[in-house]
């Protein structure tokens, strides 16, 4: 994965891009392969999107790698996914570090195998001082659980008298979410033809532009990403204002 931090190629790219990488299993089924083959094939698309986002000037890239609902899948598929995830992480972290990319993880990582958790912690520590693109991998993550956890933290702070109830506003609430230190998502891409957000970053997606691609994740290529960026560049982001107000603003 030859990541090169160059200037932007397109006129407008999202500051924060999030991706739901869907379609690995269906890609494998179409080829009469086991599902694990589809997950492995999807790694090349992960490499591509990291490289292209760094090159295009995206500052934050968040990938939905394993949802809290994915625990419902067959045990052998979960083991295969986790093994593949660790294999890819061990292989790529040195190059991510070399290219100045900071790696973060969100989700209920305490539910993971301790050896996996240790590898993830080491990767975060190795890259924590990097100043390039921030790559966040959502592992065992669920948007509703994230919201509930944030509410629980604030309720505890109120119960011990650290804050007053009327001090709980949107800024404070956002700050205790797993993505609290990162800006909201500007563009969400979902591959695989589905049109839903699947419990991903529910707070951060409030004003995101949504782009749905019919390409299965292993087939998602750089030209597909550029189409999504073109879509994003064509959008007028109003955030509650009128179009006239947006056009008149500097």
| Stretch (H or E) spanning 244 | helix 243-248
Q: Catalytic site residue 75?
A: no
Do the bridges between strand 60-67 and strand 102-106 make them parallel or antiparallel, or are there none, so unpaired? unpaired
Q: At what angle do helices 114-127 and 75-98 cross, to 10 degrees?
A: 20
C-alpha distances out from residue 201 to 64, 138, 182, 224, Å: 9, 9, 12, 23
Residue 163 class from Cβ within 10 Å (0-12 exposed, 13-18 middle, 19+ buried)? middle
User: b/e map of 196-233 (b: 16 or more CB within 10 Å)?
Assistant: ebebbbebbbeebbebbbebbbbbbeeebbeebbebbe
**Phi and psi of 97, rounded to 5°?**
-65, -45
Contact 151, 172 (CB under 8 A): no
**Spatial distance between the Cα atoms of 188 and 208, rounded to a whole number of angstroms:** 7
Q: Catalytic site residue 70?
A: yes
Catalytic residue, candidates 15, 59, 70, 199:
70
**Spatial distance between the Cα atoms of 194 and 161, rounded to a whole number of angstroms:** 45
**Spatial distance between the Cα atoms of 160 and 238, rounded to a whole number of angstroms:** 40
Show which residues are catalytic.
22, 70
């Amino acid at each position: 994965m030859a990541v090169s931090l160059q200037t932007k190629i397109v006129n407008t790219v999202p500051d924060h891009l999030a991706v739901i990488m869907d379609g690995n299993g269906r890609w494998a089924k179409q080829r009469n392969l086991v599902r694990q083959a589809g997950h492995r094939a999807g790694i090349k698309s992960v490499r591509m999107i990291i490289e292209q986002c760094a090159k295009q000037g995206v500052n934050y890239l968040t990938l939905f790698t394993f949802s809290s609902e994915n625990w419902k899948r067959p045990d052998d598929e979960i083991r295969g996914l986790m093994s593949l995830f660790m294999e890819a992480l061990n292989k790529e972290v040195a190059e991510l570090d070399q290219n100045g990319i900071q790696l973060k993880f969100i989700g209920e990582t305490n539910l993971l195998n301790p050896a996996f958790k240790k590898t993830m912690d080491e990767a975060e520590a190795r890259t924590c001082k990097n100043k390039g693109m921030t790559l966040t991998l959502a592992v065992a993550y669920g948007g509703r659980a994230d919201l509930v956890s944030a509410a629980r933290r604030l309720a505890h702070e109120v119960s011990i008298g650290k804050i007053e109830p009327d001090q709980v506003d949107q800024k404070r609430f956002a700050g205790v979410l797993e993505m609290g230190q990162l800006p909201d998502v500007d563009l969400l891409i979902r591959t695989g033809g589905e049109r839903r957000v699947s419990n991903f970053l529910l707070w951060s997606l409030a004003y995101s532009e949504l782009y749905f691609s019919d390409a299965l994740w292993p087939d998602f290529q750089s030209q597909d990403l550029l189409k999504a960026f073109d879509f994003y560049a064509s959008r007028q982001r109003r955030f509650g204002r009128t179009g006239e107000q947006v056009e008149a603003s500097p």
